[in-house]
Chain A
Amino acid sequence: MSNFNITSRYAKALLDDSEEKALLPKVHEDVNLLLNTLSQSVELKRFLKSPVIKQEKKKEILLEIFSERICAETKNFIEFLVSKKREDLIEEIFIRFIEVYNEKHGIVVAEVTSAQELSDAQKKELIQKLEKRTAKKVELKYKIDESIIGGFVIKIGDTLINGSAKHQLTLLKKKFLEEELVLN
């Protein structure tokens, strides 16, 4: 967590620079692509974190994988990160970049957990309701968890909107335990 300062600085630098050059939408796309690749490949992550492998080698391989698909701005940034020996933080920096980007553009990411897959109509309604509530653009991520039994749990930032059947049962249990049962 002490990397928070470092990642923020690099992420903001990338954001400001690409915005100045009017390349922000493209860079944002690139970053998403990079993050997706990283999250799918454990080997790549391990490779980047490894202190044994030389910087040049890392740079070479990174460019070989991505250079076809990303713009010059993003490429430069990766080269810059490697030259600053921050390639091990690449994922954190990109995650932070997305956070900063979302903050700037008034986008919030909400994680919706439900017991069953939501229908498209439900999803649409949910987005509308949430956008009204937060007064921001809402991007939804979906998750299925059968243990919540029914209803849904929405997590926006640190706030939890808990409408799951499981939570209701916990509350009910608490209530029963709180009140004294007087049998007469």
Chain B
Amino acid sequence: MSVVKPDEVSAILRKQLSGFDNEVDIYDVGTVLQVGDGIARVYGLSKVMASELVEFPNGVMGMVLNLEEDSVGCVLFGESFLIKEGDTVKRTKRLASFPVGNKLLGRVVNPLGEPVDGKGPVNHEKFMPIERKALGVIARQPVKEPVQTGITAVDSMIPIGRGQRELIIGDRQTGKTAVAIDAIINQKYTHTPEAKEDGVDPVYCVYVAVGQKDSTIAQVVAKLTEQGAMSFTTVIAAPASTPAPLQYIAPYAGATLGEFFRDNGKHALVIYDDLSKQAVAYRELSLLLRRPPGREAYPGDVFYVHSRLLERASKLNNELGGGSLTALPIIETQQGDVSAYIPTNVISITDGQIYLEPNLFNAGVRPAINVGISVSRVGGNAQIKAMKKVAGSLKLDLAQYRELAAFAKFGSDLDKSTLATLSKGERLVELLKQGQFAPVPVEKQVVSVFAGTQGFLDTIPVKDVKRFEKELHEFIELKYKNILTAIRSSKVLSDATVESLKKALTEFVEKFKVD
């Protein structure tokens, strides 16, 4: 056991003392008038700014939300029982801000940037305010590069571009988070040297968990770590046990971190899981601040809460570095009711939505995406040409299938062409099914969709479609690797590639054994 000498300790203390200058400290103060339910009313603080951080006793921080004639309304980021009437409140002269920097990757932090993963202090570069004005028209350019989610149904028919805002909406237990997590895991590819060769820039991910169970967040973090996706991901955790104000600011903190990457010419993917819980947290603190309730008791500015958050997603122009911030907000609906207040708001703000349905989920179609009503308003421009070429007919085929499937339920006399459409549709639906945490690279997606739409699956029984796809990928990787490389590097489907793809498929269909 080592012994600490007393003079050693005093030497260190003396060293620290020498750096301590006893100057007079000047600061602005106020007095707590009323405290409770995570809200404090403060008298004084006359020069305080809206959304400034203030310091209460016992290390509790607060944020100023209401500036009134004779008092200031603060929300508390800590427990309200630590504060009592008459306590002194100190201004910090710092707007609520979040620490940003590359060192945050791989970490789990709370919305104030304090680590909650027990890996020691976060070495941030700087603080950036959590509320920032979204960029204007001049700073932006149209979305043009894809974010590959690795989910065939999404990448083929509801493509997402870098800088887009795509809503993931659905009831509870329909796999909303799974879609988002798959999207993060698939970004692992963008951090490889091969991706660099193909001109794909790396995407950094931020996962904002609002109002979820601590155990769920732990699961997500464990899964991301297991899949090797944590090295380029930051998790901002505001679980259900944290006070409403922290849940309310969590998405803004995530956007701030995303903006840090974007402004440095990098690409960020931010997932807000989920915004309905954030709206509920905001409703709670608005009502406690006595703001008048409106529809569903949400305050009047709940639309602005979401619009100013999602408006921060953007694709910068090339002069500004061409970085991007893609937002994937998640909204949970109740009993499939998309016409409730918050869902309609967020649907109108975003550039499209991925709609997940419990019926499909229970029927075994997973991911349970309803491709009929899911749209992406800008992603089409970002899709790689090869995918665009094959996906056109996929959408059409599926639409025709859905139309006929309703009739087919009555059974009986169906003509030959109807039967053909139906059987093709069934196979396509089967083809689009995909396991969780199993993202498929885009070149393989193109091959699958090509096989499906060009009728190579027609002779395969529906139950064997998935096995066919798997073995097809293996076969092509072994014997026709040049097809995959060609699609990946040139991003187009040239006539030559189509020819060799057709040849490969014909060869494989003959070889494929149906048992």
Interface residues of A (CB under 8 A from B): 1, 4-5, 155, 157-163, 167-168, 171-172, 175-176, 179, 181-183
Contacts and interface: CB of A to CB of B under 8 A. Distances in A.
B28 A159 contact: yes
Given A179-B16, A183-B8, A158 B28 contact: yes
**Majority DSSP secondary structure for residues of B touching A:** mixed
B64 to A, nearest CB: 13
B20 A172 contact: yes
* Shortest 5 CB-CB contacts between residues of A and residues of B: A163-B24, A4-B70, A158-B44, A158-B46, A162-B25
A183 B165 CA distance: 51
Contact of B29 (A158, A168, A171, A172): A158
Nearest to B4: A183
Contacts of A182: 12
Contacts of B28: 158-160
Given A1-B70, A1-B71, A4-B70, A181 B12 contact: yes
Given A1-B70, A175-B20, A167 B25 contact: yes
Contacts of B24: 161-163
Contacts of B46: 157-158
Given A1-B33, A5-B69, A162-B27, 11 more contacts: A157-B46, A158-B47, A161-B25, A161-B26, A162-B25, A172-B17, A175-B16, A176-B16, A182-B12, A183-B4, A183-B9
Nearest to B30: A158
Interface string B27-49: 11110010000000001111100
Given A160-B27, A175-B16, A179-B16, A168 B69 contact: no
B22 interface: yes
Nearest to B71: A1
8 contacts: A158-B30, A158-B45, A160-B27, A167-B25, A171-B20, A172-B17, A181-B12, A183-B4
A163 B71 contact: no
Contacts of A157: 46
Contacts of A181: 12
B45 to A, nearest CB: 6
Interface in B212-265: none
B515 to A, nearest CB: 66
Contacts of B29: 155, 158-160
Contacts of A167: 25
A5 to B, nearest CB: 8
A154 B301 CA distance: 41
A175 to B, nearest CB: 6
A158 to B, nearest CB: 5
Contacts of A163: 24-25
A130 to B, nearest CB: 12
B26 A159 contact: yes
A110 to B, nearest CB: 13
B201 to A, nearest CB: 38
A177 to B, nearest CB: 11
Nearest to A3: B70
A80 B29 CA distance: 37
B86 to A, nearest CB: 15
B43 A1 contact: yes
A50 B46 CA distance: 33
A157 B44 CA distance: 8
A175 B8 CA distance: 19
Interface string B196-222: 000000000000000000000000000
Contacts of A168: 22
Contacts of A179: 16
A182 B12 CA distance: 8
Contacts of B30: 158
A162 B24 CA distance: 6
Contacts of A159: 26-29
Contacts of A155: 29
A112 to B, nearest CB: 13
Contacts of A4: 69-70
A86 B20 CA distance: 54
Nearest to A162: B25
B12 A183 contact: yes
Nearest to B48: A158
